[in-house]
Amino acid sequence: MTALVLGTALALGILPAAGATLSGPLARMAARGKHIFLHDTFGGRGMTCDSCHTDGGTGPTVVPGSHRKLPSLSNAAAVFPRFKRDHGRVMTLADEIHGCIQGALGGKAPAYDSDTLRALETYLTTLSQGKRIDMGGPYK
């Protein structure tokens, strides 16, 4: 039954297929987000998102000055929203991006209603394309 529902949703274009090619405004927003991810320091310590989240977010996450390696962001959009015990609340992907920019990068995070934050969310969502939604689940 689940396969039938998912197959129908894919056929109707309700769910994007894994590896689906983006086009038009969505593709442009994702490309802008990737550029920001790779190049913008947000006026902080000279680091970009890619400084920790290597290979455009698809490689391991490394904490500068540490030997710790954390999972990639390849399913980040699939595991948010999630409850973060250290924040004591449910966090969205936008909240996580905001916190990373302010904390790890020491930068000025973009406004929640900005195209910059929208572009970063769009790009990170492309990394999760086709992944199973697992709100609150582990990064992989």
Q: Of 90, 89, 108, whose CA–CA distance to 98 is shortest?
A: 108
pLDDT category, 134, cuts 50, 70, 90? confident
Q: How many helices and strands, by DSSP H and E, does the chain display?
A: 6, 4
Residue 80 forms part of a structural domain: yes
Residue 128 forms part of a structural domain: yes
Residue 77 forms part of a structural domain: yes
Pair 6, 15: CB distance under 8 Å: yes
Residue 140 forms part of a structural domain: no
Pair 134, 65: CB distance under 8 Å: no
pLDDT category, 121, cuts 50, 70, 90? very high
Per the structure, the count of domains in the chain is 1
Domain hosting residue 76, numbered range: 31-57+71-134
List, for residues 50-106, the tens digit of each pLDDT value.
999 999 999 988 887 777 777 789 999 999 999 989 889 999 999 999 999 999 999
CATH of the domain at 99: 1.10.760.10
pTM score = 0.81
What span, in angstroms and rounded, lies between the C-alpha atoms of 52 and 8?
A: 39
Residue 9 forms part of a structural domain: no
Token pair of 61 as six digits: 């996450």
List, for residues 14-60, the tens digit of each pLDDT value.
344 444 588 999 999 999 999 999 999 999 999 999 999 999 999 98
